[in-house]
Amino acid sequence: MTRRSHTYLHRAAALAVSMIALTSCAADTTASEDVAPISAPTTIYEGSYTSLPAEEVLGGNTFASPEDADRSDVDSTARVAALMLHSWDTTVDRTETAAAVRAISLMSEEWAANQVEPERNASNGEWLEPSEHGSYSVPRAVPAIGDAAQDVAPDKAIRVLDVTWRWVARDETPSEGGGRRQITVYLEKTDGQWDVVGHQTRDMTTAITGEGK
């Protein structure tokens, strides 16, 4: 074999080794990219000032949501609205109005525009102890006794509900706190869908275990 043949074979072998090495590096890079870790998802409530893991937001995901309401049914819409308006999480919410902000998709545009958080929480004193334990409320809503509910017109209605709630502490501290209110919900029907166009609340007791006033 000639000297030129030997040289050609050596060059061919070197080129083959280089190609194998490059192919191996490319495969390693692709594999590394495919298995790159993905950070855990985080849920952010737009009306709050806190970003928390999803399982810690809004009462451990126990709160009612707008999707729970049958918007073609006036009683369903009123009940879900009443529940949402009394669903508070002290680790996220700064004021009671934060709950109303979450319920704006159940409201007319005009009433939704009125749901603006104040500078201070009107129930600050009642929230002090629940806040120390990262508590959230567990509400219950039932129609008020009597003739309070009214069907004013085919597209207008009033519903009155008695709402009670208790606080559940994330650190499992026993709590006897809670409250009771009566809420009047005003509704109108547009395009087959009931909207909340107003609501008023009246405190019935300072706590579930307290005496009525």
Strand partners, 167: 137
- pLDDT band (50, 70, 90) for residue 119: confident
Res 145 pLDDT > 60: yes
State which amino acid sits at residue 38.
I
Burial class from Cβ neighbours inside 10 Å (0-12, 13-18, 19+) for residue 210 reads middle
Residues 110, 107: Cα–Cα separation, whole Å: 8
Under a CB-based contact definition with an 8 Å cutoff, are residues 187 and 74 in contact?
A: yes
The string of DSSP codes covering 21-53 is HHHHHHHHHHHHHHT---PPPEEE-TTSS-EEE
Residues 136, 165: Cα–Cα separation, whole Å: 10
Mean pLDDT of 62-80: 97
Question: What's the pLDDT score for residue 209?
Answer: 38
Strand partners, 141: 163
Rg (the chain; Cα; Å): 30
- What pLDDT digit, counting tens, does each position of 5-57 carry? 444 444 444 444 444 444 444 444 443 334 333 333 333 333 343 444 544 56
Contacts of 61 (CB under 8 A, 6+ apart): 54, 55
**Would you call 111 helix, strand, or coil by DSSP?**
helix
pLDDT > 70 in the chain, percent = 68
As given in the structure block, the two tokens for residue 212 are 């009525």
Mean pLDDT of 169-178: 86
As given in the structure block, the two tokens for residue 85 are 């308006």
Question: What's the pLDDT score for residue 68?
Answer: 97
Question: What's the pLDDT score for residue 57?
Answer: 67
- pLDDT band (50, 70, 90) for residue 126: confident
